[in-house]
Amino acid sequence: MAEKQVTKTRRLIIIGGSSGSLEALLKLLPKLHKKFAIPIIVVLHRSGQADNGLTELLAAKTYLQLKEADEKDLLQPGWIYLAPPDYHLLLEEDGSVSLDASQKVNYSRPSIDVSFISAAPVYKEGLTGVLLSGANADGALGMQAISRFGGRNIVQDPEEAAVSYMPEQAILLCQHADVLNVAKIVALLNSIAMD
């Protein structure tokens, strides 16, 4: 199971979600292992500019360090980065984060597709995309891009998701995605990070 090439492959996990995904995330975050060895980016659709305390709320739910991403942050294992409101979050070749205030994509900024599509060619098979509950098709095309570059797709089971539309759209485009409930998503992420 543990292949020795892991030290060479840069790894990243991006979790995307929209309507109904916060409750899934609040269940997921506390169960991530204390020594989780892969940086995680969380891209949530959030309303407008108001800082509604989401960063503090999420930070209180995990053993890992959590911050709102700043431009040019260099991704570190043990950290969770939350995409800031009103910016798309993209990934650079050097392992840093770029922010972009261009047009909304799928009515959303941050858009999950933008982060997935940007990260896919950079992290290739080292990338895991996780898509949670939502009422919008954002993330589906991005999941397809991740899989095209050899990355892994995990989709919250539509049966469990508070709003099933977003996971369903991703499953339509990515037949090989692992479709799992939150408990199993956590178990899988922890096993990936302990490889």
Partner 1 sequence: MIATGQLEELLENILSRYGYDFTGYSRASLKRRIDGFYVKGRFTSFADMQRRLMDSTAYFMYFVEEVTVNVTEMFRDPAFYQTLREKILPVLATYPFIRIWHAGCSTGEEVYSMAILLKEANLLHKSILYATDLNQAVIEKAKTGIYPINTMQQNSVNYIRSGGKEDFSGYYHANYNLAKFDEGLAEKMIFSTHNLVSDSSFNLFQLILCRNVLIYFERDLQKRVLELFDQSLDSLGFLAMGSKESLRFSSIASHYQQIENKEKIWRKSR
Give contact residues for partner 1 (rule: CB under 8 A): 49, 70-72, 84, 86-87, 90-93, 98-103, 114, 117-118, 121
Nearer to partner 1, 103 or 175 (CB): 103
| Nearer of residues 20 and 139 to partner 1, judged by Cβ | 139
Tell me whether residue 19 is one of the annotated catalytic residues: no
Q: Measure Cα distances from 2 to 5, 6, 7, 186 in Å.
A: 9, 8, 11, 18
Residue of 132, 187, 125, 190 whose CA lies nearest to 165: 132
- Identity (one letter) of the amino acid at 105? V
Q: Which is nearer to partner 1, 120 or 189 (CB)?
A: 120
Residue in 21, 73, 138, 147 annotated catalytic:
138
Tokens of 70: 């700043």
By DSSP bridging, strand 12-17 and strand 79-82 are: unpaired
Confirm whether 21 is a catalytic residue. no
CA distance 156 to 24: 9
Nearer CB in complex with partner 1: 120/171: 120
Residue 49, beta-bridge partner list: none
In this structure, the chain runs to a length of 195
- Round to whole Å and give the CA distance between 65 and 177: 28
Is residue 128 a contact partner of residue 192, using CB atoms and an 8 Å limit?
A: yes
Annotated catalytic residue: which of 21, 45, 73, 164? Answer: 45
Q: How far is the CB of 110 from partner 1 (least distance, A)?
A: 12
Joined tokens for residue 106? 């799928």
Query: Between residues 100 and 157, which has the closer beta carbon with respect to partner 1?
Result: 100
Active centre residues (catalytic) = 18, 45, 138
